[in-house]
Structure 1
Amino acid sequence: MAKWMIANKKADFDGIAKEFGITNITARLIANRLIDSRENENQKCNTQTVDEYLHGDVSMLHDPAGMADMEKGARVMLERIKAGDKIRVIGDYDVDGICSSYILVSGLSLMGATVDCVLPDRIKDGYGLSIKLVDDALADGIDTIITCDNGIAAYDQAQHAKDNGMTIVVTDHHEVPKDGDKEILPPADAVIDPKRQDGTYHFKEICGAVVAYKFLQVMAGLLDDKKDEFKAFFDEKIIFAGIATVCDVMELRDENRIIVKESLKRIPYTSNKGLKALINVNGLNAHEMSSFHYGFVIGPCLNATGRLDLATRALSLFTCEDEAEAAKIAGDLKAMNDDRKDLTKKGVDEAIEMVEEQSQKGNLPKVIVLYLPKVHESIAGIIAGKVKEKYYRPTIILTRALDGGAKGSGRSIESYDMFEHLSACKELFTKFGGHKMAAGLSLPEENIEILRKRLNDECELKPEDFQEIVHLDMVMPLKYATMDLVREFKYLEPFGTGNSKPSFAQRDVYLLSGRILGKNRNCGKYKVSDGTGKILDMMYFGDMDKWHGFLTEKYGQDGLDELYAGTAENMKVNIAYYPDINSYQGRDSIQIIMNDFV
């Protein structure tokens, strides 16, 4: 069972509630999201910061000039446009790379550039700028390369471009490589990255699309014409910056939250035919979209092209001007994502079967390393994430690589620094990289078992480290979950990493009856009570086997059967939940969503 941690942050909740006309509960939720340590409670949560949280808009976005080389890079690009250079944007194959490439190509075209774009093939080219992509550009008569969402680590590739007389501008948002404390920047004409030490940019955790967006803002500010066109351009393209921010799992705080909020506000009015087609083919209402739809509907459709095809297919969706063609591309993307989901489910099922076999032998490893040779290498990371979630153990999924050997991805837990432990056996790999919570690696097949044994023999994780921690906002009895309160939570949106959906705890919730729902019988709906006579609907979308196992252990199989027969008596659980509004046939009602139980 997970360990629950309930926030205990201090602020003038009554004063905040009175000042902004909200409930004390919502004031507490805002404080929980603004305060990150006891030492800075007053600085992080005061009238000004709460006002910015509730009412932040584009006027509060930070000045791009704080990024090192920002104006220098903008002037370089304007000079190259004026000189008539052929310019190539080189992006990445994920959502951030696709959106940042689209923003840059559209903006440079508006400024009169002769520009095209290349997105690398995930399998053939790998991530980011490569020598091959530089050579391809030279062969195509390209004079200038500008990267987006990559390039900060492309030292040799940038040098190769410079040695061949090219202009190169890097725009990226990833960590800058270092030798000790010294940053190693690629030898480009300009290197724009908010994480550079010599910059003064206020907020460093922005995605590549936001860097590209702000780069174009600086370029536009150096021009005297097209003011109205530029305003319309930036009003539209912030939609794509918001999509990329969510899909690249940037924390929704500071200006990221403003960008996503503005994106969601404007997406119903987008003029982009491809984006409208993608919304329609997925059956979404643009006026009711949330960051959830960005992260779990729109994003996966765009990502599927980079996984199972070429990411240029998604880019062509955004640049398409014909509605019929846009609808066809959007349909193809959705079909591709459906295929990806099917492949992922098969891979996850195979992985879980392997882990269960090990577990039944009393040998559930501390670090799970699985070789699934037939799984498409592009979904190894997704499968690793699913297995990690189920067993809450560091997980590495390896597949057979197209060019021989094995290739895969790892996902970790809070108490295990995956990059550090992989670094300790780096001689086993032909290539690896990553950070504390995730990694990518390639190695000869004969080294897989050696890796599995080394990681487990050297693992110092204790039983308590395998206990997942669930962070909750407060204890709140179900009787406080009202329609007005849930509607007030709209002030806290958009939700996501760094700005989580409100989550509450309640002890001794009575289970009265239940039904299993879904095509795959993978969710449950229940009638519950808090013991005061108030009865609510409760939904659970988590691991049904784990839920049923918990109930059976506590109340026996007869108790579980009685729950689904509607005759349960005195079945009580402690739940972690959030309240929601269920809209059905024009009627709204309160329901609660259970996300954990003890």
Structure 2
Amino acid sequence: MLETRWILPAQVEASDALRQAVGGHELLATILARRGLGDPEAARAFLDPSAYQPASGYELPGLDRAVARLRRGIESGDRVTIWGDFDADGQTATALLLDALGCLGANVGYYVPSREESHGLNLQGVERLAQEGTKLLITCDTGVTADEEVGLARQLGVDCIITDHHDLAATLPVAEAVVNPKMLDAAHPLRELTGVGCAFKVAEALNEVLGVSANTTGLLDLVAVGMVADVASLVGDVRYLTMRGLIALQHARRVGLRALLESAGLDPAGITAEHIGYVIAPRLNALGRLGDASLCVELLTTQDLGRARVIATMIEQSNDQRKLLVKQVLDAAEAQIQREGSRTLEEPVLVLAHASWPEGVIGIVAGRLAERYGRPAVLIAEGRDGFARGSARSVAGRDIHAAIAEQADLLERYGGHPMAAGFSLAVSRLPEFRQRLAAAVARQAAEGPRPDELVIDAYVQLGDLSLELARDLARLGPFGPGNPAPCLVAGNLELVSQAIIGRTSEHRRLVVRGVDGQERTALQWHGADTPLPEGRFDLAFSLRASDYQGRNEVQIEWIAARELEPTIAAAPKAKAEVVDLRSVLDPVAAVAGAAAGQEAMIWAEGLTTPPAGARDRALLGPAAVLAIWSIPPGPSELRRAMAAAASQRILLLAIDPGLDEPGKFVSRLLGLVKHTLASKGGKVALARLAAAMAHREETVLAGLRLLQARGQIVVGAQNGDLALAPGDGSASPDTRALEKTLLELLSETAAYRRHYRTAPPESLLGD
């Protein structure tokens, strides 16, 4: 992990005119001035979309030609087909054009390729559409590099209009029109439009030409969803359209979005960009990653609330499955990083590959790793066809698409933008690709700014934090790239307590205290494994007004902590005392003696006869003495247990659960599955099942998949938990590969447990 450099707030003075213009807390005006919005009129236009003057869509090169061809197509009754994409930006763009063209009387249909077909146009699809009578093909969120496919369409008598926002190739397809904001200057207000933004500008101009401009207002909800989902830079017209779209979303007039919000438990009236990014977009993307994205287009365009609710339920199920897959791949990727050690961590870009990783979730995991390690991350799924498909995510200051494009001679296809990209290549070329990509990113690092910088907006005291301040700062939203949420810092804090939270134990809830005695609760998302400050520290955080479970309260979201230099008066935090009992013959007596009169909390898993009062990992909590009875399955589980207990004394034992041999593992897992089916209707949390097995969650999930491949069970997901059902007895051809994967995971755990028995305590516990 790279150390983050904190950039202190510049000294600026907000004018009286600015303060009067924006009102609210004085910090609001100060942040506006610091972000270059000191002019009252500019600040008003930033805060209020009705005061903003949007750019004309005709400033987009090619828009006039696209509108002219669409108008001719509508008037002559040409069969028009929209070619979409399976991510949320592509889905919303497809739905938007389908709505807009349908309202104008066009003979219009759509096609969204599956993930197996990959992003973009393909020759077979173009030929099939031509045979079905398509005369005009308009793309959404794709097509800017489709020279060959557009050429084939032209030969078959199909005109093409390309609407896309991905980076331009050296030559553009020879189409009727190419509408892409990347053709504009870097500072142009339309430059950062995504696929749905381009589609909206086409629809808006077409409606104006035909004299029905009011129709486009009802499309703005789709614009907000697609642009936020695609992590667009929220500047210029992108911010303006997103703000207007959020207002439309809050009225929830679109049947499909209303059903989706209902199934996710969200109140439309309080929808923010964060809800789109963390709740709505993952659900739409889940179906595109694991199922048929055309169902999302149907959801977004249907007028039938009953049908919308059916699709929303399917989306919830796909999203639950997506979460499980992400957890499995993330754990496997972290394990690979730890195995490879410095060879991977010293590179300027993380490049990880595995044959069993599902293509549909590697982009999400790449994003998590990029955020965690402060550098671009590339995850690659190696296919059985000899080709590998990769997904990359980047950090500020590193153009991962440009770095990948430099390796074009190794690639079958590629595309993307500076923060995200995808590609495919022959598996045999992976070693050379990894080496050359690292060199390309290293060159960018030498030429560009450091990505690991945190810009601070203001210093505050914990006692200053209020709902009024949180609501005033929210006026600066929507937040995202190009317009980050204000980063506040409270100084000289101490950590009072912390607890691991979340369905999969990946988040933290912490209580911090200032020098004035004020205490606040902070949430650290995806931070369960990150080290915490040991002494007093400064905390960087964002502030939000939360109405969770109907309670209006201030929510502090932990961004980063910086330990203060120790002072003479500061007492160092005592390390936990460790008592090594791994070689004792009578562990019960040894624990009783070593607990020194205090009751020890015993962590034991997977044992036929556990000690009295034993708890598994899900039930651990603060305790003065923690006895680690059974050998943990890995270092991550050990760290989480120690963090949950926060004990002053740790008793180290080494009882082996004896479940690392494949036969014993599968037999016990099958027994637990049968118990779950008989007594719990097949519903169980993966974390609880892993605890009962004394194994890592990814290993248990691999075991379940093997049982499914053998036809013994069916593995699904429901509300974040596993949903198990009896199988039909038919075996899958994947059985051999899954047996190999499980054996590898069991071998890793067995190796760790052997190491655990003899390693110095300080190397195990990180003292």
TM class, shorter-length: 0.7 to 0.9
Q: Which amino acid aligns with 2:199?
A: A
Partner of 1:538: 522
Partner of 1:214: 201
Determine the C-alpha separation between the residues in 2 that align with 1:465 and 1:187. Answer: 37
- Cα 1:527–1:343 shift into 2, 3 Å: closer
Matches within 5 A, 1:146-161: 146-161=138-153
Determine the C-alpha separation between the residues in 2 that align with 1:426 and 1:71. Answer: 33
1:595 aligns with 2:559: yes
TM-score (norm 2): 0.68
Uncovered stretches (5+) of structure 2, i.e. residues with no partner: 563-767
Pairing partner for 2:95 from 80, 91, 102: 102
1:148 to partner: Cα distance: 1.9
Structure 1 range deviating more: 330-339 or 201-210: 201-210
Determine the C-alpha separation between the residues in 2 that align with 1:199 and 1:502. Answer: 24
1:447 to partner: Cα distance: 2.8
- Cα 1:419–1:79 shift into 2, 3 Å: closer
Pairing partner for 2:538 from 550, 567, 574: 574
Determine the C-alpha separation between the residues in 2 that align with 1:26 and 1:199. Answer: 28
- Cα 1:64–1:223 shift into 2, 3 Å: same
Matches within 5 A, 1:213-292: 213-224=200-211, 227=212, 231=214, 233-292=215-274
Matches within 5 A, 1:40-59: 45-57=38-50
Determine the C-alpha separation between the residues in 2 that align with 1:470 and 1:336. Answer: 35
1:93 to partner: Cα distance: 1.3
Q: Kindly provide the CA deviation profile for residues 366-422 of structure 1, in whole angstroms up to 9, marking residues without a partner as x.
A: 143222111111222222222222223433211123643222122344465545554
Q: Which amino acid aligns with 1:480?
A: D
Q: Kindly provide the CA deviation profile for residues 26-52 of structure 1, in whole angstroms up to 9, marking residues without a partner as x.
A: 11222344x3xxxxxxxx531221110
Partner of 1:380: 362
Q: Kindly provide the CA deviation profile for residues 471-513 of structure 1, in whole angstroms up to 9, marking residues without a partner as x.
A: 2212222232222211212321222221211111122113333
1:423 to partner: Cα distance: 5.0
1:506 aligns with 2:490: yes
Contact 1:392 1:466 (C-alpha < 8 Å) held by counterparts: no
Count of aligned pairs: 556
Partner of 1:196: 183
3-state SS of 2:231 partner? coil
Determine the C-alpha separation between the residues in 2 that align with 1:449 and 1:243. Answer: 38
- Cα 1:499–1:273 shift into 2, 3 Å: same
Partner of 1:6: 8
Contact 1:64 1:201 (C-alpha < 8 Å) held by counterparts: no
- Cα 1:200–1:406 shift into 2, 3 Å: closer
Uncovered stretches (5+) of structure 1, i.e. residues with no partner: 36-43, 179-183, 555-570
Q: Kindly provide the CA deviation profile for residues 149-170 of structure 1, in whole angstroms up to 9, marking residues without a partner as x.
A: 2222222322222222222222
Pairing partner for 2:134 from 142, 162, 171: 142
Pairing partner for 2:75 from 82, 106, 111: 82
- Cα 1:61–1:198 shift into 2, 3 Å: closer
Partner of 1:364: 345
Percentage identity across paired residues of the two chains: 27
Pairing partner for 2:324 from 336, 342, 358: 342
Determine the C-alpha separation between the residues in 2 that align with 1:485 and 1:199. Answer: 34
Partner of 2:18: 16
3-state SS of 2:172 partner? coil
Root mean square deviation, CA, Å: 2.8
3-state SS of 1:545 partner? coil
TM-score (norm 1): 0.86
Matches within 5 A, 1:515-554: 515-547=499-531, 550-551=532-533, 554=534
- Cα 1:395–1:270 shift into 2, 3 Å: closer
3-state SS of 2:77 partner? coil
1:206 to partner: Cα distance: 0.9
- Cα 1:533–1:489 shift into 2, 3 Å: same
Determine the C-alpha separation between the residues in 2 that align with 1:258 and 1:188. Answer: 30
1:293 to partner: Cα distance: 1.2
Contact 1:268 1:287 (C-alpha < 8 Å) held by counterparts: yes
1:522 to partner: Cα distance: 3.0
- Cα 1:198–1:7 shift into 2, 3 Å: closer
Contact 1:9 1:31 (C-alpha < 8 Å) held by counterparts: no
3-state SS of 1:492 partner? coil
Contact 1:369 1:452 (C-alpha < 8 Å) held by counterparts: yes
Structure 1 range deviating more: 500-509 or 538-547: 538-547
3-state SS of 1:347 partner? helix
- Cα 1:287–1:75 shift into 2, 3 Å: same
Partner of 1:133: 125
Determine the C-alpha separation between the residues in 1 that align with 2:189 and 2:495. Answer: 49
Partner of 2:154: 162
Determine the C-alpha separation between the residues in 1 that align with 2:498 and 2:75. Answer: 68
Q: Which amino acid aligns with 1:219?
A: L
Partner of 1:300: 282
- Cα 1:7–1:330 shift into 2, 3 Å: same
Determine the C-alpha separation between the residues in 2 that align with 1:478 and 1:533. Answer: 9
3-state SS of 1:169 partner? strand
1:466 to partner: Cα distance: 8.4
Q: Kindly provide the CA deviation profile for residues 102-147 of structure 1, in whole angstroms up to 9, marking residues without a partner as x.
A: 11111111111111001122222x2222222221111101111122
Structure 1 range deviating more: 391-400 or 197-206: 197-206
- Cα 1:174–1:438 shift into 2, 3 Å: closer
Contact 2:356 2:381 (C-alpha < 8 Å) held by counterparts: yes
Matches within 5 A, 1:425-440: 425-440=407-422
3-state SS of 1:326 partner? helix
- Cα 1:489–1:104 shift into 2, 3 Å: same
Higher CA-based Rg: 2
Contact 2:83 2:137 (C-alpha < 8 Å) held by counterparts: yes
Determine the C-alpha separation between the residues in 1 that align with 2:329 and 2:478. Answer: 32
Determine the C-alpha separation between the residues in 2 that align with 1:542 and 1:343. Answer: 16
Determine the C-alpha separation between the residues in 1 that align with 2:185 and 2:413. Answer: 30
Contact 2:189 2:235 (C-alpha < 8 Å) held by counterparts: no
Contact 2:492 2:536 (C-alpha < 8 Å) held by counterparts: yes
- Cα 1:58–1:137 shift into 2, 3 Å: farther
Q: Which amino acid aligns with 1:580?
A: R
Contact 1:66 1:202 (C-alpha < 8 Å) held by counterparts: no
Determine the C-alpha separation between the residues in 2 that align with 1:157 and 1:362. Answer: 41
- Cα 1:390–1:66 shift into 2, 3 Å: closer
- Cα 1:425–1:540 shift into 2, 3 Å: closer
Q: Kindly provide the CA deviation profile for residues 428-485 of structure 1, in whole angstroms up to 9, marking residues without a partner as x.
A: 43334445544333233233334445555785769x9988322221222223222221
3-state SS of 1:22 partner? coil
